[in-house]
Amino acid sequence: MGGRRPALAVLVLVSLVLVTVDYRQGDDGLLGALQRGAVIAFAPVQEGFATVVRPVGRFFGAIGEIGSLRTDNARLQAEVEQLRRSTLSRAELERQNAELRELLGMAERSELTTTGARVIAEPASAFDWSVLIDAGADQGLRPGQAVLGERGLVGRITEVTDRYARVQLIGSPEASYAIRVSDTGTDGLLRGQGSQPLQLEALDPEAQLPEGAEVVTKAFVGTAIPDGIPIGVLTGGDDDSRFRLVRPYVNFAGLDLVQVVVGEPTPPAQLDPAELHTEDAGIRPPPPPAPGAGATG
């Protein structure tokens, strides 16, 4: 037993050195490169294994979820009723929206350009909140792009190889997003908290944050996250606080197919002053002041 102790000390020391180096260097250092190399080497095996084994896992997972499926069914039926009630008001809002757009002569925002991908590997350990997908730089993916599930935002791309990419889930404690509460227009920041619900921090301390309100992404300079992607609903928190909890729409445990937003929405055309037809619009530029003319009135 005594002969093992030096080996234990050496391996513990090596581990601590690795932790220190990686902690200081971040993703750009040698260990970050080794991680990317490991992904390139192991991802094809995971991809093949996922194709064969995942249906089996889903079957056993479904058995364990029977209880929660009943609860989900009741909740979804209630949501359907609520959506039916809101259909009329939504149609009215859409009509008004179309009229206003026509009046403004503003081009419709283009549809998001996405590419599909399959989740081939999920977190390798506790405290890890990322998944691996089978699309990479060859499919136009790059870090920062948004990843969508069937019901809303899943996360953003953090690492890309030619054929694979790692997605940081919105629940990751390292994730933060600019968001807007749809019902009130309140802006805020959303942060992941691991296995806990997401945490919303409203920028305005006096903001209204009604429970059940939908939270969507807010386009922000320097990011590739499109505007208006649904994230989840406000579920509660301290009424006197500008912090609230958000339940995400996406079930991270059941991720299979996702969409990556590879084309950013086309922004409204910038107005070029040289192309302004002010006379056509009935607006005339002010005439040059006549020589010797004084102030009127």
Query: Residue numbers of the site for other proteins (CB under 8 A)?
Result: 1, 4, 7-8, 11-12, 14-23, 26-27, 31-32, 34-35, 38-39, 42, 45-46, 49-50, 53-54, 56-58, 60-61, 64, 120-130, 132, 158-159, 166, 168, 172-174, 192-196, 253-254
Structure tokens, 74: 């009741």
Q: Which is nearer to other proteins, 158 or 182 (CB)?
A: 158
| DSSP string over 196-239 | EEEEEEESSTT----TT-EEEE---TT-BPPTT-EEEEEEE--T
Q: Which is nearer to other proteins, 49 or 227 (CB)?
A: 49
Alpha helices in the chain (DSSP H): 4-25, 30-64, 66-104
Q: Which is nearer to other proteins, 172 or 186 (CB)?
A: 172
**Amino acid in position 238:** D
CA 220 to chain centre: 12
Closest approach of other proteins to the CB of residue 173, in Å:
2
Structure tokens, 38: 């490991």
Closest approach of other proteins to the CB of residue 76, in Å:
20
CA 233 to chain centre: 14
Closest approach of other proteins to the CB of residue 207, in Å:
25
Closest approach of other proteins to the CB of residue 90, in Å:
34
Q: Which is nearer to other proteins, 39 or 216 (CB)?
A: 39
CB 189 within 8 A of CB 176: yes
In sequence order, the 6+-apart residues with CB closer than 8 A to the CB of 292 are none
CA distance 190 to 170: 9
Closest approach of other proteins to the CB of residue 37, in Å:
8
**Burial label, 134 (beta-carbon count in 10 A; 0-12, 13-18, 19+):** buried
Q: Which is nearer to other proteins, 192 or 226 (CB)?
A: 192
In sequence order, the 6+-apart residues with CB closer than 8 A to the CB of 220 are 178
Q: Which is nearer to other proteins, 149 or 192 (CB)?
A: 192
Closest approach of other proteins to the CB of residue 277, in Å:
53
Structure tokens, 57: 């896992």
Q: Which residue has the tokens 């607006």?
A: 283
Closest approach of other proteins to the CB of residue 11, in Å:
5
Q: Which is nearer to other proteins, 15 or 96 (CB)?
A: 15
